[in-house]
Amino acid sequence: MHGVGMFVAPLCHAHANNHHEVLVLTALVAFALGLPIWFLIQWLSDPRKLRRFPTPSIVALTPFWLMYHSSRGRRYAAVDEAHRKLGPVVRISSNHISFASPQAFKEIYNYGSKIAKDDFYETIAAGNPSMAQTASKLEHATKRRNLSYVFAAQHITAMEPRVMRVVEKLCRNITAKSQGQPISDDDNYRCVDGVFDLRPWLNMASFDAITSMFWSNEYGFLDRGNDKCPTQSASGSITQVNAMNTYHSAVHFNAWLAHLPERWYKLGRQILKYSHGQLAGDHFSGMARYLVNERLRSRPAEPDLFSSLPLEASEKRPVPMTFDEVLAECTTMLDAGNDTTQTSLTNCMYQLARQPEKQRKLRRELLQALPLSKRPVASYADLQGIKYLRACLDESFRVRSPLGFGLPRKVIEQGVVISGHDIYPGTTVSAPLYSLHLNEALFRNAREFIPERWLPNEIDLSFHTSDEEHRNLKDYVLPFSLGSRACIGRNLAYMELSIVIAALIMSFEWQLARPDEEMVTIERFNSNPKELLVKAQKLDLA
């Protein structure tokens, strides 16, 4: 029998493999034949009257145009180019209309709009949406109430010392980098001839800050100079992954695949079950799962942001959050807390290194406002009154928004009128921030980084902001979105960004290693800087 088993086992294994291959092949054939036929039927029937809108390509009558440009990391640029060629209203997918006008932006994203969050987000969530992902307005309101206490002003203020400790380590690391020294034997990001890539250091700092603030379990990336961290599967097994590459691969995979309708997205995920992107997504969820499980096992000495989640029934919250709900929200926090933060920091530092006169002006304002005892790592309370610091952040948001693509929304109820066009229920609509923020009709010298435009009452001969442009800044530069779907972590973000940028500018003089080259952007979901090669010279704080 043992001898027979030697033959039977491989045959059974081969049969199982063949069965899997047949299923995959069948799915591929269904995908390849069924999807074009389905889109052809949709185009011929045109239930939402979308044939009236121009498209950049016949491929844009399907999701494949968006998927292609998303896979290349240039979706935002392709949409912007389509608008420049075809006008303010463009069809960019089988059921998606993009509007590049200020009026449409307000009509799509404003309070009380008859427009809901698109299914795109719940598709990505794969059955367990967080507050930021759910399309249901009722469910969103419930989830937002659960998180509103977490982001209360007193809780954000209590997190400042944790951010400041991370920033102190960041400054020490950059001092070492500026001298060509490694942080440790495990340092993965070395300095060569005085040049180093600032982006991963800002990303490691953002990971350390969010894991400290939310779970009292700082990753310690800055201590080692690398981003290895634990990830835990649903079965409980723990392995080590590189956080940055894991996150980037996961979000890029999901961002391009989720342009498919939900049924085709699910089939696509089945076909690509063992792809690098999907496995990375599992690992990133596992990173959050590990943090949640460790936090539930131990209570920190001081409350963190996790402490404010309604995990137990109370008079105010009679229904506590389930583990799946907690995991969904924590995955989103680990996402936004690392990526949007590092993208914003890298973009701002790029602009300041690129324009030495703006850098010197900000440094002068900071040194004049802060006593020596509060340099270089100052509290947010000490920084809030420094208007030029906030102007640099806001202008960086405008010129290089962390999110360039228009957030998709779905028309509901009886339909709406957007920019004078009747849009039928079920249609996906969006307004791209990249095109809006660089609109010369709204902002003079729109592609230039000019923080002074945010300070209309300041006497500055270099730039004068008209009343109309100042109104436009308030109305249309909204990197945290607006309405009921606005980012709940806005105040936390400004606190962290202000402390980091102020410390880096006071501590070092920055130069671009390649001043004649534009910083390359790779759009995954956010528009991420690829790298920021710099030289940093340590300054005397006295």
The C-alpha angle 355, 357, 358, rounded to 5 degrees, equals 70
In order of 45, 172, 401, 486, the CA distances from 395 in angstroms are 45, 28, 9, 19
Is 487 known to sit in a ligand binding site? yes
Strands lying side by side in the sheet with 89-93: 89-93, 96-99, 428-430, 409-411, 115-117
Which of 346, 430, 381 is CA-nearest to residue 154? 381
Helices (H), 477-533: 490-507
- The pairing of strands 96-99 and 428-430 is parallel
Q: Which residue has the tokens 């982006």?
A: 199
CB 541 within 8 A of CB 506: yes
- Collapsing DSSP to helix, strand or coil, 535 comes out as strand
The C-alpha angle 76, 350, 83, rounded to 5 degrees, equals 20
Integer Cα distance of 35 and 47 in angstroms? 18
Residue 236: exposed, middle, or buried by beta-carbon count in 10 A (0-12, 13-18, 19+)?
A: exposed
Q: Which parts are annotated binding residues?
A: 487
Q: Which parts are annotated binding residues for heme?
A: 487
